[in-house]
A and B are shown apart, each in its own frame.
Chain A
Amino acid sequence: MSDQATNEGTEMSADEGSELHGCPLVDSRGQEVLHVPRDRYTEVLRALTDEGYAMCVDLTAVDYSRFMDRDLPEGIEPERFEVVVNLLDISNRRRLRVRVQVPESDPVVPTLFDLHPGTEAMEREVYDMFGISFSDHPDPSRILMPEDWIGHPLRKDYETGSIPVQFKGAPT
């Protein structure tokens, strides 16, 4: 299970120059990662679906506000948030990871719901935890936290630990 992570000590420079649909394709510890600009996100995802990556296994986000000098390919500007989509091609048995940079000033990403209905809950989770909204999402509400919760807990500037009990409507 941990073979990939421990054995391959190489930095992500294996095939630096390669491209897929005009987006830089890099190798991260033996896994393929595609860096897609936000304005071409749905377009590229649709093309990938036609190519066989028909299953969206996972969709999550990372708040890189404390790690802005990370390794990114040429032409990709680091932004605070990153939406990470894991795609699976079950006929050819391959995975592909798509990373999209999302600026803090305008944290909006087009939804994948039309393409992969299974991302409905995952996008709501990302909205709940990071405050990244997905445009045209059918139900853009909180999923894990209570509806009247303030803030987005997985942002790096969100305080953790000893938080007073916050809930409504129950006599204490």
Chain B
Amino acid sequence: MGIVDNVLSDGLGGLSHNVITGRIEDLVKWARSRSSWPASFGLACCAIEMMATGAAHYDISRFGMEVFRASPRQADIMIVAGRVSQKMAPVLRQVYDQMMEPKWVISMGVCASSGGMFNNYAIVQGVDQIVPVDVYAPGCPPTPETLIHAIETLHGLIESGEIMRRRDLTGAGADIHVEEIPATSTPVLLGSS
């Protein structure tokens, strides 16, 4: 591996295998899927299994996810672990709204996915009534293996871009749009008078 003195004359080939070329989209997808930080949203017994997934034996940091963020603004994936009571529903939605795009939701356990055994007045019958869910993890509670499988599935979806395509088609999820803002005044030049 020699050091390239002049890229213009030697070309990128001179960098040998220090460089991987690829599309920027792929790079973004790869980065997103490998460092998706979860927002801890533990609500019931599933939260214990979620914590177990984060601990030594199952070691969620293998997937770049060990940083459970308490602030929704720093998180990418919301793992809804446990039954969502009617009182918690607005809070959950608020946390979801505060998360930065792109954001994903894993509904962990039957109670979060469909109300589970609690078909009654107190529990929201499926968290997908409140937030768009990307992956459902079954089980009562799901074992850490199940949760890891759900996370892997989500990573696969992120990497293939499947989730974004679906959102474009159905308009699900929060609205991402790029808006061109026309220059209205003379640009401010920095560093010169």
Contact = CB atoms under 8 A, between A and B. Distances in A.
Contact of A145 (B119, B122, B129): B122
Interface string A121-148: 0000000000000000000000011100
Interface string A89-101: 0000000000000
Interface residues of B, number: 15
B182 to A, nearest CB: 29
A162 B126 CA distance: 11
Nearest to A153: B121
Contacts of A117: none
Contacts of A166: 86
12 contacts: A144-B87, A153-B121, A160-B121, A161-B120, A162-B125, A163-B121, A165-B129, A165-B130, A167-B87, A170-B94, A171-B93, A172-B130
Interface of A: 144-146, 149, 153, 158-163, 165-172
B43 to A, nearest CB: 14
B171 interface: no
Contact of B86 (A146, A159, A160, A172): A146
B124 interface: yes
A162 B119 contact: yes
Contact of B124 (A161, A165, A168): A165
Contacts of A170: 89-90, 93-94, 130
A100 B67 CA distance: 52
A127 to B, nearest CB: 16
A160 B119 CA distance: 8
Contacts of B86: 145-146, 149, 165-167
Interface string B72-103: 00000000000000110110011001000000
A167 B130 CA distance: 10
B129 A168 contact: no
Given A144-B87, A167-B89, A161 B94 contact: no
A167 B120 contact: no
Contacts of B87: 144-146, 167
A160 B120 contact: yes
Nearest to B125: A162
A24 B27 CA distance: 78
A145 B94 CA distance: 18
Nearest to A163: B121
A155 to B, nearest CB: 11
A172 B174 CA distance: 11
